[in-house]
């Protein structure tokens, strides 16, 4: 069990650019008694954070060292080039890696893309972070190639970005310590994979009641009504007891109560 036995909790790490809001919302709906706390970690540090037990699970960027870690790839991002709005890049729909050959391209120390050969002309010095590199791009001294989510995260009004063909792509995965696949981790895996609350591997004990609650009772009532209907004789009135000959009870007595007149 994650956290203390008295008050369980779930700690989720995520790297910059990943937006876990939709999964957190579903968790809060299904696990209202288990608070989820978020921790932003640098992409390079995420695997060590998980191994150290400082988070129960985390969104990471592949590839990572999978030693002692499990990982489920989730999606692949588009790679884009970030440039000033008045740069020639802004006039086209996309560029290729070869189009960047004569441009200064920054490769920050926390770069998340793995290049066989880095594109463009090298900068005089590598920026420490992607955010620092974005500031340099805004100053008009170079370009930056990053996953699209990072371009959005550090977006500025004076910058734009375009897709880059021929560039490596960044894959996002959910990872957790291999030896610590707890029930809460399984629950979160189910949420990320889109399992419903009533799926065979779901564990939520008190699923929220929505439209259609009470269906079992309705079915039981319908079955009881069908059984009662099956016991009735064809053509018999449904609301009155029957007498002889299928006539309503008491009808003959009413006729015998009147004497006949003699002719």
Q: Each residue of 180-207: pLDDT tens digit?
A: 889 999 999 999 999 887 664 545 444 4
Domain ranges of the chain: 10-76+171-192, 79-165
Q: Each residue of 80-129: pLDDT tens digit?
A: 999 999 999 999 999 999 999 999 999 999 999 999 999 999 999 999 99
Share the mean pLDDT of the chain. Answer: 83
Q: Does domain 10-76+171-192 have CATH number 3.40.190.10?
A: yes
pLDDT < 50 regions, the chain: 1-4, 200, 202, 204-219, 236, 239-241, 246, 251-257, 259, 262-263
Q: For residue 222, which phi and psi values (nearest 5 degrees)?
A: -65, -40
Per-residue burial over 62-76, b = 16 or more CB atoms within 10 Å of its CB, e = otherwise: bebeeeebbbeeeee
Q: Does domain 79-165 have CATH number 3.40.190.10?
A: yes
Q: Answer yes or no: same fold for 10-76+171-192 and 79-165.
A: yes
Q: Which helix (H) or strand (E) holds 257?
A: none
């Amino acid at each position: 069990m994650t956290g203390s036995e008295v008050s369980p909790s779930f700690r989720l790490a995520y790297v910059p650019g990943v937006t876990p809001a939709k999964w957190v919302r579903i968790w809060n709906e299904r696990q209202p008694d288990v608070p989820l706390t978020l921790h932003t970690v640098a992409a390079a540090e995420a695997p060590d954070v998980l191994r150290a037990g400082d988070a129960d699970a985390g969104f990471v960027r592949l590839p990572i060292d999978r030693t002692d870690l499990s990982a489920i790839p989730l999606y692949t991002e588009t790679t884009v080039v970030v440039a000033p709005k008045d740069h020639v890049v802004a006039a086209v729909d996309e560029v290729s890696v070869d189009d960047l050959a004569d441009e200064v391209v920054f490769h920050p120390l926390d770069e998340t893309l793995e290049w066989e050969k880095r594109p463009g002309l090298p900068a005089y010095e590598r920026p420490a972070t992607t955010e620092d590199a974005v500031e340099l791009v805004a100053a008009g001294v170079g370009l930056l190639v990053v996953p699209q989510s990072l371009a959005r995260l550090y977006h500025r009004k004076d910058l734009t970005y375009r897709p880059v063909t021929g560039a490596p792509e960044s894959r996002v995965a959910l990872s957790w310590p291999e030896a610590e696949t707890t029930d809460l981790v399984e629950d979160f895996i189910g949420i990320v994979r889109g399992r419903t609350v009533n799926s065979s591997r779901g564990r939520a004990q008190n699923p929220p009641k929505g439209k259609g609650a009470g269906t079992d009772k309705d079915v039981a009532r319908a079955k009881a009504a069908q059984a009662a209907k099956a016991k009735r004789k064809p053509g018999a009135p449904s609301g009155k007891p029957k007498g002889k000959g299928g006539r309503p009870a008491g009808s003959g007595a009413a006729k015998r109560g009147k004497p006949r007149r003699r002719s």
